[in-house]
Amino acid sequence: MSTPSSPSRKARADASRNRDRILEVARNLFAERGSQVQLPEVARAAGVGIGTVYRHFPTQADLIEAAAAQRFAEIEEYARTCLGGEPGRGLWRYLNHVGETLEADSGLSAAIEAARHSRGSAPRGEALAGLEAVIGDIIESDCAAGALRADLTVADVYMMVGALSATISTGSGDWRRLLALQFEGLRSA
Amino acid sequence: MSTPSSPSRKARADASRNRDRILEVARNLFAERGSQVQLPEVARAAGVGIGTVYRHFPTQADLIEAAAAQRFAEIEEYARTCLGGEPGRGLWRYLNHVGETLEADSGLSAAIEAARHSRGSAPRGEALAGLEAVIGDIIESDCAAGALRADLTVADVYMMVGALSATISTGSGDWRRLLALQFEGLRSA
DNA sequence: ACCTGAACACCGTTCAAGT
DNA sequence: ACCTGAACACCGTTCAAGT
B185 to chain A, closest Cα gap in Å: 4
What is the pLDDT at residue B123?
52
How many angstroms separate the CA of residue A11 from the nearest CA in chain B?
Answer: 37
pLDDT at res. B165: 97
Instruction: Tell me whether residues B182 and A177 touch, CB distance under 8 A.
Output: no
B186 has a chain A CB within 8 A of its CB: yes
Better-scored residue on pLDDT, A22 or A9: A22
Nearest to A164 by CA among A185, A189, A138, A133: A185
Give A160's contacts (C-beta < 8 A, 6+ positions apart): A95, A182, A186, B178, B181
Residue A49, Ramachandran bin (φ over 0: left; ψ between -120 and 50: alpha; else beta): beta
Residues of A in contact with B167 (CB under 8 A): 159, 162-163, 166
Phi-psi region of A47 (alpha: psi -120 to 50; beta: other; left: phi over 0): left
Interface probe with B: pick from A33, A139, A160, A170, most Cβ of B within 10 Å: A170
Q: At what angle do helices B175-184 and B90-104 cross, to 10 degrees?
A: 150
Q: Which of A123-137, A162-176, B10-24 has the lowest mean pLDDT?
A: A123-137
Whether any strand D atom is under 7 angstroms from the Cβ of B21: the reply reads: no
* Strand C near-CB residues (< 7 Å), B 5-64: 38-40, 50-51, 54, 58-60
Residues 6+ apart with CB under 8 A from B143: B149, B150, B152
Residue B16, phi-psi category: left (phi > 0), alpha (psi -120 to 50), beta (remainder): alpha
Query: Which residues touch A7 (CB under 8 Å, ≥6 apart)?
Result: none
Nearest to B183 among A164, A185, A187 (CB): A185
Position A129 confidence tier, pLDDT thresholds 50, 70, 90? confident
The CA–CA distances, whole Å, from B174 to A124, A131, A142, B10, B102 equal 19, 21, 24, 47, 13
pLDDT band at A117 (very low <50, low <70, confident <90, very high): confident
- As a rounded value in angstroms, the CA-to-C1' distance for B189 and D12 is 50
Which nucleotide has the least CA–C1' distance to B57? Answer: C13
Whether any strand C atom is under 7 angstroms from the Cβ of A50: the reply reads yes
Q: Is the pLDDT of residue A12 over 90?
A: no
pLDDT at A151 over 70: yes
Rounded, the Å distance between the CA of A34 and C1' of C14 is: 29
Q: Which residues, given as ranges, of chain B have pLDDT below 70?
A: 1-10, 119-127
Phi, psi at residue A9, to the nearest 5°?
-65, 90
Q: Of the ranges A48-57, A156-165, A169-178, which one carries the lowest mean pLDDT score? A: A169-178
Q: Residue B57 and residue B65: Cα distance in Å, rounded?
A: 10
pLDDT for B1: 37
What pairs with residue B73 in β-bridges?
Answer: none
Give the pLDDT confidence score for residue A189 in this predicted structure: 81
- For residues B156 and B143, give the distance between their C-alpha atoms in angstroms, rounded to a whole number: 14
Q: Is the CB of A12 under 7 A from strand D?
A: no
What's residue A81's pLDDT?
A: 97
Q: What is the model's pLDDT at position B10?
A: 65
Sign of the four-CA dihedral A111, A115, A116, A117: positive
